[in-house]
Structure formats: C-alpha cells, structure tokens
Amino acid sequence: MSAPAAAVVAVADASAGLPATDAQTASAVRVVTVTAGQAVRAMAATATDADSRASEPTHRITTLDSGVRVITERVPGVRSVALGFLMANGSCDEQESEAGTSHLLEHMLFRGTESFGSQEIDEIFDAMGAEINAGTDKEATSLYTRVLDGHLERAFEVMAEMVWQPRFGELEAEREVVLEEIAMYEDDPQDRVFELLDRAIFENHPLGRPVIGTAEVIGAVTREQLSAFHTEHYVPPRVVIAAAGSLDHDALVEMARASIPSSGSGQGASPKEISHAAATAPDFRPRERFFEKDTEQYHVCIGGAGLARDDKRRFALRVLEGILGGTSSSRLFQEIRERRGLAYSVFSFSNMYARTGEVGIYVGTRPENLAEAMQIVADELAHCVDDPASEQELERSRENLKGRMVLGLESTGARMGRLGAATLNDMPILSAGDVIERIDAVGLAEIREIASELFAVEHLSLAGVGPDEQHFQAAIEPLRAAGLSDAGGQAAGA
C-alpha cells in the first residue's frame, strides 16, 4: 500500500467538489497507485451548465436505522458498478501510541472474515475480473472495487463481511508486510520529504503524523488491540456505502440492511466526537526539517497552512495552484523544468481536511542545480504574491480545472468516490454545473487574496532530504533572503 493514492481515497478533494491534485500524499493504496504528475497532464475540456446538468445522473441517499448511509447514482449506458465502503477513521483518530493502527487494520480487512478466507477473497474477485482495493488517509479509510453489474451482489456480500466481521487472522504475516512497507517508504526520499513537511507544518498535531505509522507500534500491536480498535471505530454511523453505475438503489439498500450484524448496530461516536486531538488548531509557526540521506538528488518541499475542505475559497486555491505549479504550463514547471532543465519533477499541491489544510511546492534536483532551483522557487513565490495571475493564466487554469473535473466524472469510480466522500464529510453534493459555476466565478481579486495569505514566504515551512545538510543550507539562502524564517533545522527523527 503506497502513496500518493488513487482518486477514490482522495476523500478531502472529492468531498470538496474538486478533482484530486498531483500530490495526494496522505493515503495508502493496496494495489493501484497514481504517481505525481499524471493528473496535471489531463486535457482541459469545457462544458456548459445546461449540458452538464442535463446529462448528469441524479443520486439517491438512504440512512438506515443503524446509522449507515447508502448513497448511489445510476449511470445510464454502463455495465459496471463502482462500490465503496468509506469509514470515518484515519490516522487523525489515533493516539500517538496507536500510530499506524488504522492503516494496519485496513490491511487486515483482507486477511479473512467469518465466511471467507484471505486467499478466497482474492480468488472471488479475480473470478469476477475485478480488483478490490483499499486505502487509509488522515481522516478516512476506504474499501472499494468495480465489478460487472451481475457480480454486484456477490461483491457486496464479501466486502460487507470484510468491513463488519474481519477475523484478524494471519496477523504476523501482515505485520511483516506493513513493516516492509514502512521500510520501503523510509528508503524513498520523495515519500520521506512529504512526511517531513507534514511534521514541519503541523508539528505535534495528529495531521503531522504519517498515516503508515511507526515500526514500533506496528511491531507491538496485538490481535486483541486491533479488534478493540475496530469495535470502537468501525460503527454504522461512521460508515458510508457508495455506488455508481448500473445498479438499483433500493436493492443496494436491502443488501446493506441485511449485512450489518446485530453486534454492530450500536450508535458509536460520530467523527466529530471521536477526534479530540484533531479538533485542536495546529500551530502553524514556520519550521524546518532535514533528513540526511545518500541520494542522487535533493528532495525539497516548502509549504504551510491551507484551507479546510468546506472553505468557499477552495475553488480559487485550486485555480491559483494551476497557475503556480499544478499544470504543465504553470510557472514553476515552465521555469524550472522546461526552460532550464533543473528538475524532472516539480509541482505545487494542496490537501484539504475537515478544519484546516496545507499547501506546498515540491522539487527534486541534483546537488549542482539545487541553489538555482531554490532561487527560482523564491522568485516565483514572490511573483505569486505580487502578481498571482494574468487574465490569460486565469482563464487557462479555470478551463483546466473544469476539464479535469468533467472528464473525471466519466468514470464510475470517480463518481462513487465523490458521492461517498461528500456524504462521509457532511458536504453538499455539487453537480458538475454547480462546480463549473464556482470555478468560473473565481476572479483576480480572490486569487490575489489567497496568494497573499497562503504563499507568502515568511509563513512557510521547509523540508529537505539529501546527502549534505550544509550544502542544503547554503542552497536555500535565496528563500531566506526572500523572508523564509530561520527556524533552525531539525534532523528527522530527532
């Protein structure tokens, strides 16, 4: 299970009515992943409000007596169904001593149920020509698949048992798998730098902890502790069942009602009640983190506080992001990669959570190019604040965002993820036409306000991974000259 995640687990973005960005670094995926950079290559497309509303299927939602919410959307002309179980449980719901338990529990869903063995689950979905996958992020866990409509009932039966009645078998084997996954991430400097940035931005807040957890916790957790964690967090009011495609809503509701065991019908705690630590406001003072590692490149992230998923300015942020570094025609991509060849990977990103968010920039470059790349980042951040968008840039970014959103909705998986995420997070489900209206309404004044608030260098934290901290410190002098706080570096793991 690795990050960045597929769109299904980009819960914050889906519920916000926006397509996922390049760097959704928070969640972990079992099989299929989307690498940074793929999303920004999507072709832009336009759609009128009338056209999008006329062609858009309607959704239905039913809340069961148990508290489970079932939301569906019938999509004409397809033979597949995308089905997902979304649980309001992520790394933010953990205590420090539980770090990684949500992620390990997600793995253990595949290790057998009361009726189905671990290998049998794989064989069932292979026989359907389907993949079953799962992901954990900071605020949610999801289990999802896409099957032919004739296989929906069987797929639902198996997935429901995985969610409600895991037997936590083969724990030692899966523990080793997760420990290998942690080691894999620790070996990957790009994954490590995003982890460091989260720690720099959020410090000791739950959002600053890696979703994957720590080897110490994973190595010690017991079957009894996992079972107790499941009992506390996987309760009906915290579960949404979402589906899109060739389906009947009422039939799915009956499947859901029949699947919930009597022992799982308690009310439990709501997402807002259970995340006490996550409800506190982070301390966003600028910080710096560096991890010394023998790498060919320096991997650098600079970022800070962003917007919550329900902030009305989220559309303006994504438009600005497309101008700064979220597309192949963006300022950072053109200046650093296309004109100077200083990096293969450079992009801006944002993540939106329930009460706050983060923005950032990533660049990976060789030691001899680091100083020049940092000078350009400093210059472009200043440019972003002083002159965030020309009319041409604004129009191009708006059209890009609309195009990615509309094209994404041609996928039943994306539709399912959008419905489930919005319902899980108590967000309104915006039609494509509604989203297009909000994107079109973004103007220069709003862009300028967002740029000044979020991308002023003096408000940002810094994270780096590379072979020599002294070289790194010398290379980031242009950022310090531009106003980056000299917060003092702290070694990773210190």
What stretch of H or E contains 289? strand 288-292
Instruction: Give the separation between CA 103 and CA 211, rounded to whole angstroms.
Output: 7
Q: For residue 146, what are the contacts with CB-CB under 8 A and spacing of at least 6?
A: 80, 81, 82, 83, 130, 131, 245, 412, 413
What stretch of H or E contains 394? helix 391-408
Our answer to whether residue 106 is catalytic in this structure is yes
Count of CB atoms situated within 10 Å of the CB of 262: 7
* Contacts for 171-176: CB closer than 8 Å, 24+ residues apart: 171/108, 171/111, 171/223, 171/226, 173/111, 174/104, 174/107, 174/108, 174/110, 174/111, 175/104, 175/218, 175/219, 175/221
CA 399, distance to chain mean position in Å, is 23
What stretch of H or E contains 302? strand 298-305
Which of 106, 174, 358, 380 is catalytic? The answer is: 106
Tally of CA atoms within 13 A in the half-sphere of 263 that contains its CB: 6
Q: Which two tokens stand for residue 117?
A: 């063995």
- Active-site residues: which are they? 106
